[in-house]
Amino acid sequence: MSTISAAEVNKLRQMTGAGMMDCKKALIESNGDFEGAIDFLRKKGAKVSAARADREAKEGAIIAKTSSDRKLGVIIQLSCETDFVAKNEDFVKFANSIADLALTHKPVDADTLKTLDLDGQPISARLLEYVGKIGEKIDVVKYEIMEANNIVAYIHGANRLGVLVALNNNATDENFIAGKDAAMQVAALNPVAVDKDGVDASTIERELEIAKEQVRAEGKPENMIEKIAQGKLSKFYKESTLLNQEFVKDGSLTVSQMLDKAEKGLTVTAFKRISL
For 99-145, how does the pLDDT look when each residue is reduced to its tens digit (9 = 90+)?
A: 999 999 999 999 999 999 999 989 998 888 887 777 778 889 999 99
Structural domain boundaries of the chain?
1-49, 59-154
Beta bridge partner(s), residue 270:
166
CATH 3.30.479.20 for domain 59-154: yes
102 with 74: CB under 8 angstroms? yes
Which of these ranges, 61-70, 79-88, 157-166, has the smallest mean pLDDT? 79-88
CA 30 to chain centre: 25
Q: Give the CA dihedral 222, 227, 229, 231, nearest 10 degrees.
A: -150
Second-level CATH architecture of 1-49: Orthogonal Bundle (1.10)
61 with 95: CB under 8 angstroms? yes
pLDDT band of 52, cuts 50, 70, 90: very low
Beta bridge partner(s), residue 63:
76
Strand, helix or coil at 73?
Answer: strand
Q: Give the global pTM.
A: 0.75
Q: What pLDDT does residue 54 have?
A: 42
Closest CA to 146 of 162, 126, 134, 157: 162
β-strands 250-254, 246-247: how paired?
Answer: antiparallel
Query: What does the pLDDT look like over 237-249, one tens digit per residue?
Result: 999 999 999 999 9
Q: Is the pLDDT of residue 50 over 70?
A: no
